[in-house]
Structure 1
């Protein structure tokens, strides 16, 4: 009997897609970010409040340079994995959040998320986190880290519920969190 041949984990990540439900029962698709998502990703940023963008980028950020946009969109699904959360509306699919991790040394990656304000508090950040943690494990990572502003209590709670623990701080302005995957 022949053994089934499966795709390498990162090839699977590049084609990743899962249907989920938010706390209120709304359907959401969590899938790999695609190059053609750039315009909708920028539209999602426009639908996000300055406070939420400050919490994600640690600075007032509304516009991105060509270099920054290229960085966010050129995802190799090995050292840079990004997921988008989409809902279907009357005008088609709309990105309402996203999360990514970027490998900064072998086996170690940093995670970050942003959720459009209208979808905050509905469990979307936790869903994105769960899917990224699974992809990180499948990709052989040993540890995920995150930097969160102390006032972002909702995100701190989401990380805590996912098993992240506070660790020594590199920057006194942020809370450094770590999740051991091994």
Structure 2
């Protein structure tokens, strides 16, 4: 079984840029906040579903205190740019987890979301999860395409402005 807390994998973006997909570390807190500062209001709304301008101490703690069993978080790092994106899954009930992603605006459209998703799916399978879920705003066509490529299917959700997507892992 893979140790998600020490996960690290070198990969390449579609344009040939080398990228490291690795576990989020406690010492990444300042760089994570800096990366969030490089996202537009639209990108933050697409991630959090509300206009998000700042994060409380409690929210920051939640995003940074990862146990790598029930809450797994990966970041995408580029040598001269630092953290350019991140993704996570949180186990919501036995065998099921919800996923979320954020890529800073200047790096969107280069394949980072897909790489993070691929690595998180592998970790979820290794952790014996049976299903991954995601909520995506209808307007977020780029992220919907990423989930489509990986086989997520639409299921009935409660929010009329969002798609509820699921992927069976077994």
Report the TM range for the smaller structure's normalisation: over 0.9
In structure 1, the gaps of 5 or more residues are 1-7
Q: Do structure 1's residue 169 and structure 2's residue 157 form an aligned pair?
A: yes
Alignment of 1:111-122 (within 5 A): 111-122=99-110
1:53 and 2:47 matched: no
TM-align CA RMSD: 0.8
Is residue 37 from structure 1 mapped to residue 25 from structure 2 by the alignment? no
Query: Does the residue aligned with 1:95 lie in a helix, a strand or coil?
Result: strand
Residues 63-98 of structure 1: CA deviation (Å, up to 9, x unaligned):
110000000000000000000111111xxx611000
Structure 1 match to 2:15: 24
In structure 2, runs of 5+ residues without a counterpart are: none
**C-alpha displacement at 1:60, in angstroms?**
1.1
- Please say if 1:130 is aligned against 2:121: no
Q: Distance in 1 between matches of 2:150 and 2:76?
A: 18
**How many angstroms apart in 2 are the aligned matches of 1:109 and 1:170?**
17
Rg larger in structure: 1
Question: Runs of 4 or more off by more than 2 Å in structure 1?
Answer: none
> What SS class does the counterpart of residue 163 from structure 1 fall into?
coil
